[in-house]
A and B are shown apart, each in its own frame.
Chain A
Amino acid sequence: MTSISEARFARLAQEPLRTTGPKGGFASGLAAQWRDIWAHRELLDMLIRRELKARYKDSTLGFVWSLLRPLALLLIYFVALGQFLGAARNIPDFAVFIYTGLTAWGLFSEAVSTGTASIVGNSGLIKKVYLPREIFPISALGSTLFNFAIQLVILVGATVVVGDFPTGTRWLYLPLALAVIVVTALGWSLLLSAINVYLRDVQYLVEIALMIAFWASPIVYSWGLVSDKIDSPVLEQLYLTNPMTIAILGFQQTFWVAGDGQPVPDNLTGALFAWLGIGLVFTWIAQRVFMRLQGNFAQEL
Chain B
Amino acid sequence: MGNPSVVEIENVSKRFVIRKEKSLKERVVNFGRSNLHKEDFWALRDVSLTIESGTTVGLIGPNGSGKSTLLKTIGGILQPTTGTVQVRGRMAALLELGAGFHPDLTGRENVYLNASILGLSTAQTDQFFDAIVDFSGIAAFIDTQVKFYSSGMYVRLAFAVAVHVDPDVLLVDEVLAVGDEPFQRKCMDRIRQFQQEGRTIILVTHGLDQVADLCDRAIVLERGVVKADGHPLDALRVLRSEFDQIREDELTRERAAVGAAVGAPRAQVTKVETIVDGTPAETVGLGSPMTVRLTVEAEQELRDWTLGFGFDSSHGQAIYSTSSRLLGVPMPPLRGTASFDFTIPATWLGEGAYTAHGSVGDASDSEIHILREAARLHVTTPGQEIGLVSLGATLDPRPV
Contact = CB atoms under 8 A, between A and B. Distances in A.
Given A12-B53, A125-B117, A1 B198 contact: yes
B198 A129 contact: no
Contacts of B78: 298-299
Contact of B23 (A18, A57, A201, A295): A201
Nearest to B95: A128
Contact of A50 (B76, B87, B105): B105
B232 interface: no
Contacts of A16: 88
A200 interface: yes
A124 B199 contact: no
A127 interface: yes
A272 to B, nearest CB: 35
B130 to A, nearest CB: 20
A130 B100 CA distance: 12
B153 to A, nearest CB: 19
Interface string B1-37: 0011110100000001000001110010000000000
A273 interface: no
Contact of B118 (A1, A126, A129, A296): A129
A53 interface: yes
B72 A12 contact: no
B87 A9 contact: no
Contact of A58 (B4, B93, B104): B104
Nearest to A44: B116
Contact of A12 (B4, B22, B102, B117): B4
B197 interface: yes
A13 interface: yes
B99 interface: yes
B86 A19 contact: yes
A15 B87 CA distance: 10
B261 interface: no
A12 B6 CA distance: 8
Contacts of A19: 84-86
Interface string B81-105: 0001111110001011001101011
A129 B93 contact: yes
A125 B27 CA distance: 28
Contact of A8 (B85, B95, B197): B197
B122 interface: yes
Given A8-B199, A46-B112, A128-B93, A17 B99 contact: no
Contact of A20 (B87, B104, B199): B87
Contacts of A46: 112-113, 116
Contacts of B199: 5, 8
Interface in A102-139: 124-131
A224 to B, nearest CB: 40
Interface in A23-52: 42-43, 46-47, 50
A2 interface: yes
A42 B116 contact: yes
B117 A129 contact: yes
Contacts of B198: 1-2, 4-6, 8-9
A5 B78 CA distance: 29
Contacts of A127: 77, 95, 99
B290 interface: no
Contact of B16 (A126, A201, A299): A299
Interface residues of A, number: 41
B127 interface: no
Contacts of A15: 88-89
B23 A200 contact: yes
A123 B23 CA distance: 18
B: contact size bracket: 35 or more
Contacts of B99: 124-125, 127-129
Interface in A146-167: none
B74 A20 contact: yes
A9 B3 contact: yes
B145 to A, nearest CB: 8
B270 interface: no
Interface in A191-208: 199-201
B168 interface: yes
B197 A20 contact: no
Contacts of A261: none
B54 interface: yes
Contacts of A6: 198
Most buried by A among B79, B96, B105, B113: B79
A21 interface: yes
A64 interface: no
A212 interface: no
A6 B197 CA distance: 8
A54 interface: yes
Nearest to B52: A9
Nearest to A7: B198
Interface string A290-301: 000001101100
Contacts of A50: 102, 105, 109, 113
A200 B113 contact: no
B4 to A, nearest CB: 4
B75 interface: yes
B172 to A, nearest CB: 12
A199 B23 CA distance: 6
A21 B79 contact: yes
9 contacts: A4-B196, A5-B199, A19-B85, A19-B86, A20-B86, A50-B105, A54-B105, A124-B99, A129-B75
Given A8-B54, A125-B99, A199-B23, 4 more contacts: A18-B88, A50-B105, A53-B104, A53-B105
